[in-house]
Amino acid sequence: MMKKFLFIISIIAFLFFSIPLSLPAMEYEHTLEAKNMQFSWTIEGDQIHVKLSAKTTGWASIGFDPEKAMLGANIIIGAVEKGKFKIEDHYADRKRGHSSDEKLGGRNDVLNPSGSEEDGVTTISFTLPLDTGDKYDKPINPTGISRIMFAYGAGKDSFKNRHSYRTIYEINLSTGENKKIK
């Protein structure tokens, strides 16, 4: 009886000490530094893993493939408010604004969302299928040149609040090669 008890205790102790208490942070394959913003990403199969941070206590956002100003971009926007993060899948249905895919009749395709705010820097991370099939997302091209916008808000967490900084880059998501175009 005692032997069995000691055996079970040693199994539990082994499992306790061999499983790390916190998972290691994800390593990303590429990183781009924009003004007060950092975009890290990895293409894995038919998905892209993204980490985006901005020097703001407001929202941080990335927009894939805008056509005219913001119009047509698949926007992912996130913020941390009172320790809780929110990340939404939006679509730029206007040249100077955006709405959530769900509101427009589409879907939220953001996977594994997470977010934190530390020392005035907001960081969000998430995974997106390269081709969600949603009407309000466009397939992300993993090999050619992609036009990608970055922006952050000015301290307020509301997604209706305009940016205090915005920029556009051309990026080859496979090689990491990039050029600021706006």
Q: Which residues bind ligand HEM (CB under 6 A)?
A: 61-63, 69-70, 75, 77, 96-98, 149-151, 160, 162-163, 166, 168, 182
Q: Whole-number minimum distance, CB 135 to ligand HEM, in Å?
A: 19
What's the CA gap between 142 and 47, in Å, rounded?
9
Length of the chain: 182
Our CB check for ligand HEM shows the closer of 70 and 87 to be 70
Nearest alpha carbon to residue 128 among 106, 105, 109:
109
Local structure of 133: helix, strand or coil: coil
Q: How far is the CB of 17 from ligand HEM (least distance, A)?
A: 45
Query: Which SS3 state, helix, strand or coil, does residue 137 take?
Result: coil
Smallest gap from Cβ 148 to ligand HEM, in A, equals 8
Q: Which is nearer to ligand HEM, 110 or 151 (CB)?
A: 151
Closer residue to ligand HEM (CB): 34 or 49: 34
**Cα gap 143→124, rounded to integer Å:** 24
